Amino acid sequence: MIIGGQLYVDGLGCNWGLQATHPLSPDIVVQLMKDNGFNKVKLFEADPGAMEALGRSGIQVMVGIPNDMLAGLASSVRAAEEWVQQNVSNYLSRRGVDIRYVAVGNEPFLKTYNNRFTQITYPALQNIQAALIKAGLGRDVKATVPLNADVYQSDSGLPSGGNFRTDIHDLMVSIVKFLNDNGAPLTINIYPFLSLYADSHFPVDFAFFDGNASPVVDGSISYTNVFDANYDTLISALEKNGFSNIPIIIGEVGWPTDGDPNANRQLARRFNQGLLNRINQNRGTPRRPTLPDIYLFSLIDEDAKSIDPGNFERHWGVFYFDGTIKYPLDLGRGRNLTAAKGVRYLARQWCVMAPDADLLNPNLAQSINMACTYADCTSLGFGSSCGGLDARSNASYAFNMYYQTMNQRSGSCEQFHNLSIITRIDPGFRDSSCRYEIMIDTGRHAQRRNPGTSSAGKTMAGSFVFWAVVVLVLIVCGCLN
């Protein structure tokens, strides 16, 4: 399909997350999407910069409402009307943003939330839909709720046994009926990677689309991948409850490239290429052959995301944080991935462990801890892209990530008790998946404080990363013997 001179794969969308210390310019991201044929995008919030950049771009938008806003929207129709006016009507009329959906919350029924959003999601959905109708947008903009695939299950272990989760069954039926009555789609996030991550005995080939797995036989249907089996479990749940024809959107699906032994570029390419091949073939699943709209997760890495689910959370992007290509993908019709254009970087210099610094220095562990508290060290974890570095390279990686995160600010490489120096020689290894980054020049040097003098910025690391790095350093240098 050709739109405005751009070649698009029908039904291909992406998620654009904004939790990054050095985000790309919104205009660069929008051009990146257009250059690579993404004609749909899902945002997790109505970020003004992103929304304005999407104006008159030809890209359809699903704009999200964060979970922490649901309570206010559920309790006040007026609040819902104000949100729609500010974040939908305003951008449609004044900026020409092609908003098609409002995503009310994000996976609000996850069991880890302990029912925090269970009672408020449906009322918030109702109020947003009512506000869209009042604004005269009810026909063109639909409200939906992106849900995790854990809202349905199968007691038999087969797709044909699918039904909604017992504790939220009636609520799910009410929500699906509401969506159906308003001509809105049901949005589901499916993650084959998490099946593999959660179960060491999960058959690896069953996570992918290339047909190498032993099939799961369900009556007359044989399933050779978990995506089809998972999706058809949902279809069975919908059919059992009288909604066999409701449209479905896959709100998130993808594969991370770092932060876990099964998160690497090779497996990510295998998964995403298989997914793209199905999209290009317009092939659905055995129980629903019609291909749904699919939003790939994710477009770009986000180095400030929470790592509570796992270190891989910061590495879902098809592109690195700066819009460079991680691995090749055939987009179909002779097109391959295209990197972001016009990206500006900080100076070509790195902060590394000084050659004469002693690995037995008692300040080393503390210095690494400080660096990884304020910068992203998830690539140093076990089985990750930089997990095999020696002790000196480990420390250099941590020091440099801090230095780059601080925008190479004067004094930021001197935080480590005389253990570090600045070098203009790339400390990375040729042909290695481990990257010693240079950050994007966001032009905001003056606005970023040095968190070494404050506790306000301690949102980056997590104790797992720190202790993985420190223990590795101690083992390599022989300090635990």
Q: Which residues are catalytic?
A: 107, 252
**What is the rounded CA–CA span in Å between residue 202 and residue 349?**
43
And the tokens for 448? 């970023």
Residue with tokens 């985000």: 23
CB neighbour list of residue 156: distance below 8 Å, 6 or more residues apart = none
Torsion of CA 195, 196, 201, 204, to 10 degrees: 120
Q: Which amino acid makes up residue 381?
A: G
And the tokens for 420? 């570090």
Nearest to 193 by CA among 120, 78, 275, 308: 275
Distance in Å from the first CA to the final CA of the chain: 63
**What is the rounded CA–CA span in Å between residue 267 and residue 62?**
28
How far is C-alpha 105 from the geometric centre of its chain's CA atoms?
15
CB 107 within 8 A of CB 64: no
Cβ neighbours, 10 Å, residue 480: 8
Gyration radius from the chain CA atoms: 23
And the tokens for 265? 């570029």
CB 160 within 8 A of CB 236: yes
Q: What separation in angstroms does the CA of 13 have from each of 10, 282, 295, 422, 454?
A: 9, 14, 4, 41, 40
CB 41 within 8 A of CB 63: no
**What is the rounded CA–CA span in Å between residue 479 and residue 481?**
6
Q: What separation in angstroms does the CA of 311 have from each of 359, 380, 400, 415, 474?
A: 26, 10, 19, 25, 21
DSSP 434: -
Nearest to 383 by CA among 200, 270, 259, 203: 259
Q: Is 223 helix (H, G, I), strand (E, B) or coil?
A: strand
Torsion of CA 461, 464, 465, 469, to 10 degrees: 140
And the tokens for 398? 């941590």
Rounded to 10°, the helix 463-477/364-374 angle is 150
